[in-house]
Structure 1
Amino acid sequence: MTCGASITFDEAVAVLQREAQPLGVETTQLSTAGRRVLAEAVHARIDAPRYSAAAMDGFAVSAAESAGGACRVLGASYPGEPWLGRLKAGEAVRIMTGAAAPAGACRIIPLELVEENSGILSLPQVWPAKSHIRHKGCDIKIGQIMLAAGTLLDPRALLVAAAADVATVQTWRRPIVSVLASGDELVSPGKATELDYTIPDSLSEAILLLSRQYGAKPGSAALVADTRNAILAAAETMMSDCDVLVLIGGASRGDRDFAKAGLRPLGLDVRFSDVAMKPGKPVWYGRIGAKHIIGLPGNPTAALTTARLILAPLLRALEGRDLRSALNWQAMPLKNCPELIATRESFLCGTIEDGSVEILKSQSASSQLMLARANVLVRVPANQPTCAAGSVINALKF
């Protein structure tokens, strides 16, 4: 399918939803599985607790004891070093939190409720309401599903996986993203002061970082001239070790915009070309076999905006998560009252202040300094009249 006509942003996202399937499954050591997505559920290999255990520091006593009585203290039970006897009437064992409760124990009396003198324990006049014993398997049982497939292994989920006593988990492979920037005027940061009529490539590392934030592994980055042959040669080499190739620049219809043309000899199949959005209308997406190709405009704000809106959800889907998790729009009050009328749907840079969103002034696709302040994108429908301060708009974490 090749499509050269403009589509809406929502239609572009629907294309990505159809095209992006999780990559292959791999076995991952738990020590390196953080921020990965489970391809298979995690089942418990042990009970938790593995044995009935003390929930408080105190003394274990048997059911035969009466409130207000006294017991002989026979020994102590510690985590990993239990007291292995069986409690009988008139006996108690000092016990620490997490230690195995002795056989015959029915409750733990907290330390602060009792007195011990010369090995004799005076019991309280009234039993505590709780037994303070965590019984075997009360939290987790062997074979229980601990984490479902599709779970992101954040710190909480990683703790649960470790509690299941698994050393490895089955995860979706992380997509590898490489970035190819084209532009005769572009040089590596730090070089522009040495060469007239050049500007630093401010986008490549930013796009790789954004990719990493949305689940990808950074691949290679290259900077080439604005020619078909240069783009073709670099792309052919880079595609051998990436799943997603991001082209920066050459996306429009200028005399030297060769991004799509440079890749056609490799079998590029464009799935959408041009999106009715501002900024970033020239953004495009296609496939070369199993590889995903995204073309971003060269203007910095336009490129980073479309990367956040198009590349980020694509990566989420490829890593096994719901694509929509990257597009979590939130309704928020608008602080200022800018002129918002545009013939295309707009995604404007804003900042959150005091619980409301302020749309930054002087929105420009080529702006760079504005991005230092912007932390949200504000979605404004096409032909939207001026919004009054206090009205509700949709904002997305940038």
Structure 2
Amino acid sequence: MITFDEACRRIAGIARPLGMETVPLEMAWNRVLATPVVAAHMAPCAAVSAMDGYAVRDADIRAGTNRLRVVGEAFAGPGGHDRPLEPGECVRIFTGARLPLGADRVLIQENVQAVAGEVCFEGSPGGARHVRAAGSDFAPGDVLLEAGTPLSPQALVTAAAADCGTLQVFRRPRVAILSTGDELVSPGHAAELRGAVPESVSFGVCALVRAWGGEVVGRRRLGDDLAALRSAARAALDEADVVVTTGGASVGERDHSKTMFTPFGMTCVFEKVAIKPGKPVWVGKVGDRIVVGLPGNPSAAMVTARLVLAPLLAGLSGRSPASALAWRTATLGAGLGDGCDRETFLRARTGPEGVRSLGSQDSSAQRGLAATELLIRRPAHATALDAGAAVDILAF
């Protein structure tokens, strides 16, 4: 059995990007850039107005002129005013419109009066010229987004501004999920069968896979028949980069999550981790495929998926595996008792006075998962802590 930190190191060692592909800009959200985004043009492409108002010559203003003739209009896009401004002239201009030649200041419309083809103003217009200089945002050849950048909504705006219609991104890991257990049935049918349990874990794992950059290519619910499990394992290995099993990770007679992969030459990356919940979690490799075995208990499965599967998917999709384990310090809003002989991850949420552990920490509990916002990390053999103490937390 290895420590959690050692498990993280081993995950980082196998979580390498899977290759690149080109996707349309509109399909690039939540992907990771494989190559930089470089500006193809200058922005703005010319000096433009930052406000609605009147484009003027600053020389006229400094000479004390307070009445100017309006000789045209300028709109954003092709509707500009192409004739250079002469002394004493101005142009009605709108935000984003190109300044006429000779204009180098915009008087905002709230500060002038327009009467009979002229504008009048009093006093000094102040220091702000309300002009966006050509190239003031970026120039051709500027790197606007580095390789490895996660494509957030904000980053997509920047990529589009660079005039990129497609982006080179890292390929998303394909993930197949196999839920095992004779007792499991599809949600909506458990009440019809004695001893049946709704299969719930795969739905949470699917969502977590998508959140961390993966693509779910298969989800199957299976009984505990070893021959059928091995057939499903073979099919999953053929279609996916990562196969996730839930259940069957312990040492019972029907716990086949590892043996179902034995015929395919699986080697173990690790078999158990000294954590609570989730000690039975394991990771293996079949060629270039990765297999992750999660416990069957729902809370244990989701905690270990967050701690093990999320950094694996992050690394495979082009992020740093460590980016999925961004621990930070928070203040306890209520005390904690002594820890146990394993490193423990408590399901918790934020309260008015700090973070609080949820009442039930049972590995099979499911009701409290909906309220879980974060995990509190406690070392093995931790001593009791009072409210106000500092703890390490991770967004769940």
Shorter-normalised TM range: over 0.9
Which 4+ runs in 1 deviate beyond 3 A? none
Output one character per residue of 1:223-262: Cα deviation in whole Å (capped at 9) or x when no partner: 1121321211001112222111101111111111111111
Residue matched to 1:96? 94
Paired residue for 1:209?
Answer: 207
1:38 to 18, 33, 41: 33
Shifted more, 382-391 versus 288-297: the winner is 382-391
Matches of 1:239 and 1:46 in 2, distance apart? 45
Q: How does 1:305-384 map onto structure 2 within 5 Å?
A: 305-384=303-382
Aligned residues of 1:67 and 1:127 also touching (Cα < 8 A): no
State how far apart, in whole Å, the 2-side matches of 1:277 and 1:70 are: 78
Whole-angstrom distance in 2 between the partners of 1:369 and 1:120? 71
Q: Find the residue that maps to 1:259 and give its secondary structure.
A: coil
SS at match of 2:104: strand
Deviations 1:92-129 (A, max 9, x none): 11111111100111211122222222112335432421
- 1:192 matched to 2:190? The reply is yes
Cα separation, 1, equivalents of 2:256 and 2:4: 23
Q: Is the 8 A contact 2:333 2:353 kept in 1?
A: no
C-alpha displacement of 1:69? 3.7
**CA–CA distance in structure 2, aligned partners of residues 206 and 124 of structure 1:** 65
Residue in 2 that maps onto 1:133: 131
Q: Report the more deviating stretch, 84-93 or 126-135.
A: 126-135
Q: Which amino acid aligns with 1:174?
A: R
Answering whether residue 198 of structure 2 is matched by residue 176 of structure 1, we say no
Q: Hey, what's the Cα distance between the residues in 2 that align with 1:195 and 1:298?
A: 20
Asked if 1 retains the 8 angstrom alpha-carbon contact of 2:247 and 2:296, the reply is yes
Distance (whole Å) between structure 2 residues aligned to residue 188 and residue 162 of structure 1? 43
1:109 to 90, 107, 110: 107
**In 1: Cα distance, 2:187 partner to 2:135 partner:** 58
Q: Where does 1:1-398 land on structure 2 (aligned, <5 Å)?
A: 6-65=1-60, 66-80=63-77, 81-398=79-396
* Distance in 2 (alpha carbons) for counterparts of 1:102 and 1:67: 21
**TM superposition shift of 1:71:** 2.3
Number of the residue aligned with 1:3: none
TM-score normalized by the length of structure 2? 0.96
SS in structure 1 of the partner of residue 10 of structure 2? helix
Gap change, CA 1:113 and 1:338, over 3 Å in 2: closer
Query: Can you list the C-alpha shifts for 1:142-199, whole angstroms capped at 9, x where unaligned?
Result: 1110100011111111111111111011100111211101111111111211111211
8 Å CA contact retained: 2:177, 2:220: yes
Comparing 184-193 with 21-30, greater Cα deviation is found at 184-193
Q: Which amino acid aligns with 1:79?
A: A
Structure 2 residue matching 1:105: 3-state secondary structure: coil
Task: Give the Cα–Cα distance (whole angstroms) in 2 for the partners of residues 354 and 78 of structure 1.
Answer: 51
Mapped partners of 1:19, 1:208: distance in 2:
21
Q: Which secondary structure does the structure 1 equivalent of 2:243 belong to? A: strand
CA distance in 2, matches of 1:123, 1:353: 55
Tell me which moved more, 147-156 or 124-133. Answer: 124-133
Q: Which amino acid aligns with 1:114?
A: V
For the residues of structure 2 that align with 1:389 and 1:275, how far apart are their CA atoms? 29
Alignment partners' CA distance in 1, 2:252 and 2:92:
82
Give 1:377 shift: 1.1
Change (3 A) 1:293 1:73: same
Q: Post-superposition shift, 1:366?
A: 1.4
**How much has 1:283 moved relative to structure 2?**
0.3
Offset of 1:362 from its aligned partner? 3.2
% identity of equivalent residues: 42
For the residue of structure 1 that corresponds to 2:258, the secondary structure is: helix
Long gaps (5+) in structure 2: none
| Residues 332 and 353 in structure 2, CA contact (< 8 A), matched pair in contact too | no
State how many pairs are aligned.
393
Structure 2 contact 49–131 (Cα < 8 Å) conserved: yes
* Structure 1 residues 127 and 363: alpha-carbon distance in aligned structure 2, compared to 1, 3 A threshold: closer
CA distance in 1, matches of 2:245, 2:73: 67
In structure 2, do the counterparts of structure 1 residues 97 and 284 end up closer, same or farther at CA, with 3 Å as the change threshold? same
- Segment of structure 1 superposing worse, 342-351 or 111-120: 111-120
Distance in 1 (alpha carbons) for counterparts of 2:301 and 2:123: 73
Give the deviation of 1:64 after TM superposition: 4.0
